[in-house]
Structure 1
């Protein structure tokens, strides 16, 4: 290191030029300028006349940490959270991020296997794993919430909305049948539905009063769901996860075509079991299509 690499600041002591600091951090000057623009590593001092950046030697560890976190494809906001935290808190935030990554990769792996089966012509083999039947469902009063949501937000919204509706049902004569989710349009990474959460209740007048009082909150409504004939297949808690559930929907549709049945409404998921108490292989949900 030459004398030109060091600047002495009267308050903070030794400061390193960007070139000298880059060498110590084993990063390029270009990377350091990027980290500065992104707000992840701000220089200790910037010369007003020349615009040259200078860093403290103590910033080397943070620079290396930012570089390593970027190699994990961590979003900038998450990187900022990690580098600003200390000790076990920083480690916990990294662990939480990596758990999200592993969950996403596991879902992508399952989707790839599912698509490989479709592309290789093994769809009928996959569909054969599902038993499809029909059931007559009587008309029922339901209180509902509707939302536009993408697939990655869907599980959390279903849990929250059914929780709110089940609580509201206490003032509407109680829950009288299994809650269900109606897909009025496709939900994917690009398509956001809408999706409607429905809880059947006993008291129509109380349900309509609740909906009026709820107003526009969560797009709450009360309505009468007409009697329907459903073609359905029963799936386990593990199979509810996306994309496993796609095969179940397609199996029901394939069975409908073979039986000469036509669609009579939007597809749905009927949740008849205690989700929290159920194990991965326990039946929890009917994937269904109204038919005629």
Structure 2
């Protein structure tokens, strides 16, 4: 049922108003879509008849209607569309760029996950693992300030970012950060298992770090400890590959390499974050997936 009878109504003082049916045809949208956009505040009618409830639009609103429809073709959520259409010029374009960067990051991660799952389903895991280059590196003894938490995989990325941020801020008063921050997994972290995980930042001044932990670190379960010198077997991965469960392929590749080379795992696995996460793109290397080995 259309909201109006006539295609056009003259309001006397303003441009002619179009019925929802006539406006839908001009904007190449359905009346149902226009009603939805109205309910969500994306495109309100220029006039609503108080007696009948019929909606009327001006011809000049067609451009905004088409913009909303085009953004929907990008699978953009309606809430984000509202932000774009309410913004002006460069800000609107920037919001679009931000959304598309998120899409590309998600697709890059999904592409990695598909390759991993294809290998598992076909029984050719080794082919997937072969895409990772595994090496070893000797690391010196380090004093680290750390924060430990039980967390599920869905909560892990936010916690890693927040905890490393807190620890790096603390490290500035402890002689500074001396090596790349890392996260140790003392037990499995998945959608069902909550670890715990431990964020670690190497610092120069152990005494200052202990003083900070005693004074301000209790709320975050922080502690200071010495990480012994040792050897790590690791593979370098991109930002897209860090997401769970895509990262499982990297862990599997390192474990297979360790077994194939007659080595033994000497401690819990870890992720070493050596790059600027915010500045990195989906294909940029940001992290080493590593196991201590003997």
TM-score by length of 1: 0.74
Within 5 Å, give how 1:137-148 maps onto structure 2: 138=141, 140-144=143-147, 148=151
Match of 2:170 among 147, 168, 190: 168
Q: Is the 8 A contact 2:265 2:291 kept in 1?
A: no
Q: Is the partner of 1:91 in helix, strand or coil?
A: helix
Matches within 5 A, 1:1-292: 4-9=6-11, 12-128=14-130, 129-131=132-134, 138=141, 140-144=143-147, 148=151, 154=157, 158=160, 161-162=163-164, 164-183=166-185, 185-186=188-189, 195-215=197-217, 219=220, 221-224=222-225, 227=228, 232-236=232-236, 238=238, 241-242=241-242, 245-255=247-257, 261=264, 264-265=267-268, 267-271=269-273, 285-289=287-291
In 2 relative to 1, CA 172–137 (structure 1 residues): closer, same or farther, beyond 3 Å? same
Matched residues, number: 285
CA RMSD, Structure 1 to Structure 2 (Å): 4.2
Report the Cα offset of residue 200 of structure 1: 2.4
Structure 2 unaligned blocks of 5 or more: none
> Do 1:182 and 1:197's aligned partners in 2 also have CA atoms closer than 8 Å?
yes
Matches of 2:152 and 2:13, distance apart in 1: 53
- After TM superposition, give the deviation of residue 38 of structure 1 in Å: 1.4
Deviation of the 1:209 alpha carbon = 2.8
- SS of the counterpart of 2:53? coil
Task: Please report how far the alpha carbon of residue 160 of structure 1 lies from its aligned counterpart in structure 2 after TM superposition.
Answer: 6.3
* CA distance in structure 1 between the partners assigned to 2:39 and 2:214 by the alignment: 50
- 1:145-166 CA-to-partner distances (Å, cap 9, x unmatched) read 7585866983x86566545533
In the alignment, the residues of structure 2 paired with residue 66 and residue 284 of structure 1 have an alpha-carbon distance, to the nearest angstrom, of 36
Paired residue secondary structure (1:172): coil
> What's the CA shift for 1:64?
1.4
Q: Which runs of 5+ in 1 are unaligned?
A: none
Cα distance change of structure 1 residues 29 and 141 upon mapping to structure 2, 3 Å threshold: closer
Provide TM-score, normalisation by structure 2. 0.74
What is the rounded CA distance, in whole Å, between the counterparts of 1:148 and 1:8 in structure 2? 62
* Secondary structure, counterpart of 1:27 in structure 2: coil
